[in-house]
Amino acid sequence: MTRKVKIGNVEIGGGSRIKIQSMNTTDTADVRSTLEQITRLADAGCDITRVAIPNMEAAEALKEITKNSPIPVVADIHFDYRLAIAACENGAAKIRINPGNIGDPANVRKVADCCKERNIPIRVGVNSGSVERSLIEKYGGVTAEAMTESALGAVKILEDMDFSDIVVSIKSSSPKLTIETYRCLASRKDYPLHVGVTEAGTLREGMIKSAVGIGTLLAEGIGDTIRVSLTADPVEEVKAARMILRALDLGAPGITFVSCPTCGRTQVPLIELANKVESRICDLPYNIKVAVMGCAVNGPGEAREADIGLAGGKDEFLLFEKGQTVRKIKTANIDAAAEEFVEEVIRVGKGQKTDQAV
């Protein structure tokens, strides 16, 4: 098991629930826009967010942001140790740096000392683009071993300064390399791991790569906090992360939606119906499974694990709970059926225990 690290009031590692992270896309110096986006992320189920600190103006803005943010805010720093120190002083809950990029060890020490004084952890963030040339030559390319050694080298810089409040990430844009590298790293150290596939792409491409990369690792018990990296509204990253966690029964709140692929037995426009229902229920805070199935003959049985489901018939729909038919919704109208079904989903959802509002 990994050791536990506290990011503000949020724990990661040590067997605690896998935490969802995202990163703001706003100009950090624009406090109002940044806080608005953080609120949207938190409402979507994000546990921790990160903001870029490219200059002192952004580091200064952190003061107001961290004071008003509903979730811990991580400061993302490249190269300039002075920005890292300013971020610490202005309320960052964690600093993300690559100590190797800071350069002068004396400056890394200043950052480590500042973080230690305030109990602020450091995420050592290494990626495939930052692997040292010497390691690329030693291993014949950017391999899992080369990336692991690069990350361990960066971690050792902090360990040598008696700093161990560390989280590690070691990302690649290749899910395969990401999986191999995290496996390698997890066998070497017990620091909590921040897992993700970097530069994964746009919504569809990025979700698939992230589901493969992050999902494979989580299924093996590797990973303490995740970020789905998408070229999209960051709220989509949070939704995707929740879907990955729910697919693995890892405790993400929200509705699990299932629908069948349809076949020649379908008598309703199921794609349209399923999309209508899903868009209406995807943000509801109930921990239930909801099914929309193409036929009344096999639908209720195929989706018997669903708490509530709808199966299409001829000019009517079957409403079922746990595989048992409850009643019929007598309409051939898709909108009317979706509307009535959503009301039933809310009824069943309200009757269930919710672990946490989404």
271 binds ligand SF4 (CB under 6 A): no
Please identify which residue in 192, 294, 309, 349 interacts with ligand SF4, judged by CB under 6 A: 294
Nearer to ligand SF4 by Cβ, of 200 and 268: the residue is 268
Nearer to ligand SF4 by Cβ, of 68 and 298: the residue is 298
Residue 103, Cβ neighbours under 10 Å: how many?
A: 12
Nearer to ligand SF4 by Cβ, of 254 and 300: the residue is 300
164 binds ligand SF4 (CB under 6 A): no
CA 105 to chain CA mean position, Å: 33
292 binds ligand SF4 (CB under 6 A): no
Please identify which residue in 62, 95, 243, 293 interacts with ligand SF4, judged by CB under 6 A: 293
Residue among 251, 268, 247, 256 nearest 312 (CA): 268
Nearer to ligand SF4 by Cβ, of 217 and 293: the residue is 293
Q: How many residues belong to the site for ligand SF4 (CB under 6 A)?
A: 12
Strand segments (E) across 2-108: 5-7, 10-12, 19-23, 48-52, 73-76, 94-97
Contact indicator for 34, 75 with CB cutoff of 8 Å: no
- Smallest separation (angstroms) from ligand SF4 to the CB of 326: 17
Angle between helices 234-247 and 203-219 (to 10 degrees): 40
Residue among 210, 166, 233, 234 nearest 12 (CA): 166
305 binds ligand SF4 (CB under 6 A): no
What does each C-alpha distance from 51 to 68, 82, 240 come to in angstroms? 14, 16, 20
Query: 168 is written with which tokens?
Result: 């590690």
271: three-class secondary structure by DSSP: helix
99 binds ligand SF4 (CB under 6 A): no
Nearer to ligand SF4 by Cβ, of 4 and 328: the residue is 328
266 binds ligand SF4 (CB under 6 A): yes
260 binds ligand SF4 (CB under 6 A): yes
Residue ranges binding ligand SF4 (CB under 6 A): 260-263, 265-266, 293-295, 298-299, 302
